[in-house]
Amino acid sequence: MPRMFLNGTAMSGGADHHLVGGAPLVARTSTAPRYRFHAVGGRYPALEDVGEGGAAVEGEVYDLSYEQLREVLLPGEPDGLELGVIELADGSGSLAMVLRREYPALPELTDISGLASWRAYQERS
């Protein structure tokens, strides 16, 4: 089963957590400190791999079936994101939704790397 890192509204307690279905939570963890973390139009989060000088972003890792990933979770993701592979704090890899590299009409990005948490951003907004 693919491991999927979630860092937004699909995390436990979030408005879109139902998209995870009954997938088991593997870990509450963070990314390696190589990502900028953005609020896209204030609506959803996005990771951007910048290599050195990034932040460790909080999230959750789930074991999803390919069917759940393909049929439920991915169709619910916004257009400004794409499926990618990220590095977690322990050096392992995971699938995750990342900022689309080329997207002509991406809404305004607000860098929230200092918060490193979508929940913390929402509490401040």
Domains of the chain: 3-114 (3.10.490.10)
Structure-block tokens of residue 24: 């088991």
Structure-block tokens of residue 112: 């929230």
Nearest 10 degrees: Cα torsion 12, 17, 30, 27: 60
pLDDT, tens digit (0-9, with 9 covering 90-100), for 4-45: 999 999 999 999 999 999 999 999 999 999 999 999 999 999
Residues sharing a CB contact under 8 Å with residue 71, sequence separation 6 or more, in sequence order: none
The 3-state DSSP class for residue 71 equals: helix
Distance CA(38)–CA(111), nearest Å, equals: 5
The neighbouring-strand residues paired with 27 are 61
Structure-block tokens of residue 59: 């999230």
The 3-state DSSP class for residue 12 equals: coil
Distance CA(42)–CA(3), nearest Å, equals: 27
pLDDT, tens digit (0-9, with 9 covering 90-100), for 49-103: 999 899 999 999 999 999 999 999 999 898 889 999 999 999 999 999 999 987 6
Predicted model pTM: 0.93
